[in-house]
Chain A
Amino acid sequence: MNWLASIGALTIAKMGSFGRATLMLLGAIIAKPQFIKNTPLTIMQIYVVGVQSLLIIVVSGLFIGMVMALQGYTILVSYGAEGSLGPMVALSLLRELGPVVTALLFAGRAGSALTAEIGLMKTTEQLSSLEMMAVDPLRRIIAPRFWAGMISMPMLTLIFSAVGILGGHVVGVDWLGVDSGSYWSIMQATVDWDKDVMNGVIKSAVFGFVIVWIATYKGYDSIPTSEGISKATTQTVVYSSLAVLGLDFVLTALMFGIE
């Protein structure tokens, strides 16, 4: 019976923490937004989570686009279909790799930093001190970070995909000699704005939501010791990566699975 009890205990603990996470989220984003005070804070956080993630996103996007062109070319050329390199690179980036890889990088780069920052604020009593100053830490600390993450993720994904397609062009056209005209024109004929680009953007917005939610909650709920923060940071990266991959399947099935 012990294993049954431990399943029960685990479920209760997980549900409890899910409930606390939901309450935190509601407190941060639903309760009376303060646009005038929060806009500069949000811009500051977009700088921290968005602009500072830009380098890793651009570099990864470039290399992933280049590798895909290289791999795709060797397969396509054996069917004489190397003209389809453009749509292959573009579609895989826009539909899958763009949102997913950006989300995974974002979880590692920005999510972990968010958790550690908020966790340390808790450890050093900064959150308590805000509360004692009659400032709600949910609105002051969590909300700007949450919105910044939600706004940054789709933008990073667009940049990632665009850079990847250019990287594919560099390898496919400039190096391997695929015709530049067919690279673009077949891509244009195949890629659909709503179905491919917008669905990718929607995916990335969902991923952004989940990652910042997990990251801010793990920081806010961390045990205020150095061990607690290191554990919370690890959990942020692990949980948000798993959540991204799982949600990606669900979203893909919803978006592309049913014709």
Chain B
Amino acid sequence: MNSRKAEILVGGFVVLAFAAGMMLALKVANQSMAGQTETYTLNAKFDNIGGLKVRSAVKVGGVTIGRVDSITLSSRDFTPVVKMSISKEYNQFPETSSVSILTSGLLGEQYVGFQPGFEIEGIENLAEGDFIEDTKSALVLEDLIGQFLFSKGQ
């Protein structure tokens, strides 16, 4: 085995592995070439987050604008605090915006639905670290059934 041939074949091996990595990156994981875009952080308090998870999507009208960064329980009032990182591209949301936890499809994953508010004079845009006041919790099936039965009973 001469070393020239080995070098060529090893070169081919590396190219093949690189191609496989590229395929996984672009075609499978859909990683854009630009890399991570810059983000800013928004917080929201919910009564109940349901099945929301870290890395769940944050969407406006179906368009993903960011992801859930972390989910913690506030030590003061024992409500979940969801920290979201939102792409810097979308930094024009007014403070009146609201967020709710929605489900994609009947059995699908849960995501944060972001509803931009109205732009009125004197209302500032959301900035790094702000809390979104207007939140709607996840629908919990058991609660829904309970409400349904309660309303029937009346």
Residues of chain A touching chain B, judged by Cβ–Cβ distance below 8 Å, are 40, 43-44, 46-47, 50-51, 54, 90, 94, 152, 154-156, 158-159, 161-163, 165, 184, 187-189, 191-193, 195-197, 259
Contact = CB atoms under 8 A, between A and B. Distances in A.
Interface of B: 1, 3, 6-7, 9-10, 12-14, 16-17, 19-21, 23-25, 27-31, 53-55
A50 B25 CA distance: 22
A159 B20 contact: yes
Contacts, number: 77
Given A44-B3, A158-B21, A161-B20, A192 B55 contact: yes
B6 A90 contact: no
B111 to A, nearest CB: 11
A47 B2 CA distance: 11
A218 B148 CA distance: 68
Contact of A197 (B1, B12, B16, B29): B29
Given A155-B17, A158-B20, A51 B10 contact: yes
A259 to B, nearest CB: 6
B20 A94 contact: no
12 contacts: A43-B3, A51-B13, A54-B16, A152-B13, A155-B14, A155-B20, A158-B17, A162-B20, A187-B28, A193-B31, A195-B55, A197-B25
B16 A159 contact: yes
